[in-house]
Amino acid sequence: MKKKWTTRPYRYGDEEGILSLFSSNVKESGFRNRNREWWQSHYKQNPAGDAIIWVAEAGNEIVAHQSWVPKKLKPFSQTIIAGRSGDSRTKADYRRQGIFRELLLKGHETAMKKGWSLFIGLPNENSHLGLIKSGWLDVCMIPKLVKILRPGRVSKAIRKKRE
């Protein structure tokens, strides 16, 4: 069933609601160590400027979030700003309702107004198709590599997941 929601840009004080999206089910999300200190350093104290942040809300609750962190690039001796995809999360009961796409398009519009030149993303399996449908291009496939530092912990986690 489609739920009612609206989108808007980030407002001061949204951090609590956004961070709760990433801490509600750490096992599912894979997002660890998302706290206020991390938030400030990653999104608000970035040397290239403030991130673009959009949220979807239902009532007074933030139910989805997308962000893009500015990065200075210097191709061919000219400095440009590229937006690196930041964290993105939608509450499970609000997925498959077009929120991801709407937040994405709002981010594109905002970046254009700010004069950013491009977006760079490392999508997961949930966001890849949505990005392609929104005009993003696959420019390369990044191999997934792993360096296991603590084999005992890894094997324990794998065994626990199988149970």
Q: What is the pLDDT of residues 132-141, one digit of tens each?
A: 887 877 877 7
Length reported for the chain:
163
Q: What is the pLDDT of residues 49-83, one digit of tens each?
A: 888 999 999 988 999 999 998 888 887 788 888 88
> Which residues span the domain enclosing 17?
6-162
- Output the pLDDT for position 65: 92
Per the structure, how many domains does the chain have? 1
Report how far residue 121's alpha carbon sits from residue 137's, in angstroms, rounded to the nearest whole number: 10
In a domain, 1, yes or no: no
Whether residue 93 is contained in a domain is answered as yes
Residue 94 near residue 103, CB atoms below 8 Å = no
Along the 163 residues of the chain, how does pLDDT read in single tens digits? 678 999 999 998 888 888 888 775 545 545 556 677 777 777 777 888 888 999 999 988 999 999 998 888 887 788 888 888 877 888 888 988 889 889 999 998 999 898 888 888 877 777 777 788 878 778 777 666 777 787 887 777 777 767 7
CATH label of the domain that carries residue 140: 3.40.630.30
**Is 25 inside any structural domain?**
yes
> Are 104 and 119 in contact, with CB atoms under 8 Å apart?
no
